[in-house]
Chain A
Amino acid sequence: MISAYYFGAISLVLIGLYAVLVKKNLLKILVGLSIMETGVNLLLISIGYVSGRSAPILSEGIGPNQAVDPIPQALVLTAIVIGVATTAMALSAAILIYEKYGTLNVEEIRRLRG
């Protein structure tokens, strides 16, 4: 039986991919990209989860043996920041596209061809 975390994370990735492939509106494509990044982060976090243990902050009553794997959390922290930076960059490009082309429909944005 596949765990709900893995199933949910992969579903999010697939939903995001679907949106990128099928949607025509540029902003919806960017939303799809964000959903995909969220799915990937969830997957990373759930790989480090050890059933029944607490957050990896060493304090009274919680030793190294009662904590989940801290490495994926560091990875996700980095990946979240990267995702936000990419989204911000993409949104500013979308603004520029709307100013220059007057549309956000990806089928009409094709001045570069050949």
Chain B
Amino acid sequence: MRATEEDQQGPSKKALKKQQKEAEKAAKKAEKQAKLAAEQQSTEEDDFAKDRYGVSAMVQSQQKLDRVLVLVQDLTPEKADQRIWLRARVHTSRAKGKQCFLVLRQQQFNVQALVAVGDRASKQMVKFAANITKESIVDVEAVVRKVEQKIESCSQQDVELHIERIFVISQAEPRLPLQLDDAVRPDADGEEEGRATVNQDTKLDNRVIDLRTTTSQAIFRLQSGVCQLFRDTLTNKGFVEIQTPKIISAASEGGANVFTVSYFKTSAYLAQSPQLYKQMCICADFDKVFCVGPVFRAEDSNTHRHLTEFVGLDIEMAFNYHYHEVIDSITDTMVQIFKGLRDNFQTEIQTVNKQFPSEPFKFLEPTLRLEYTEALAMLREAGVEMGDEDDLSTPNEKLLGRLVKEKYDTDFYVLDKYPLAVRPFYTMPDPNNPKYSNSYDMFMRGEEILSGAQRIHDAQLLTERATHHQIDLEKIKSYIDSFRFGAPPHGGGGIGLERVCMLYLGLHNVRQTSMFPRDPKRLTP
């Protein structure tokens, strides 16, 4: 009722007051804005340094500058008092009165930089520098200065940069999905200080940002090193690198864990390993081959060490009389990789260790080789009950790794002569005991990284074994046929790149060493 009365009488006193207040507010706001604009204009006018900072036009390759951009890692006391240009990300910025401190980051290196009001920089320039959002990319002209006290928080501890010009090349949005400092904080530290750490899934959801952390940078530089060392070592041993198809017509190791893809009017599989093809290359007289490429496993296992797509490092070679020639060749390759990492990637290893502490990786030369029966004896002595022909379960595998480490002080060893029953159909049976086979696994820190064997190079025996495993002979006809026209005895193995990196660094999840991991629950990014 009152409302209608009010309508008739026009606005009430209360409403009038409200209106008046709002009008006042608007006026004040306009005044403030005008003042701000005026101020800005005036400051712009008397900003002597206005050409020394700003947001650059988008780089569309308009010009070729003769400018040399120095790398952050090269900023050492030798460069003191030089004027240099550099491009880096703004890791953090902190304004403090007439100064603004920035930490400029480039990959895993960072350096402290400073903009201070003086004859080179104006108040406005310092303000601008302080307001650059984290992770923006900037071009900076600065003078390198030695510092008296080491800067503990930066990788370049002996120098800092006195900025004279700063231009934003690419601006980052102000809100980051995760903070880089949180992402590299060791778990233990976060708990103790009550500070944030970032959980694995958040990291993986925002992989592009997470990959910028010093830890990720180090991990993937080391991973690249593994590939390179693998290639170099094998090439030196006379191996040939081959490329094999990933779309295949038959599963190589049992049909259960393969991805099926539709292939025109029929279906095909994604390769579980280049197994069949590298063997065919052996039959085609390539003698020693290796292959680096994606491998697919459709196992629905969500564990710390399974991925559905990973990078396989595969080796296959013909040998003369005994498959141990193959084992020796592979273990030597692994040892070369371990040595290469130890000697050339110490910085990366240290960087990862800061966040994920682990003991240095130990290995023996020549590599320790144990037979399956010996391993069973060790496990039984430790109280594990296992049948003679049982496969190793993951916990037993890890326990065996600890027992071997305790006894032989090595994180890398070969387990030879697996029971035939637990290996694929193309595995050569042991001539002395048909229950066992000429097959082997290799372990790092108690986890399997390589599975290999002498293969059957006799078409008839191969057919027998395939039938025994109930494999459709029609589908592997071309494979079996390749052995009909003279095939040398041969063996080989396949390594998972991600696992090698994970275990070498003593990490706990294979997703940490996969750049864009694929597992049953993750298909993006």
Q: Do A and B come from one complex?
A: no
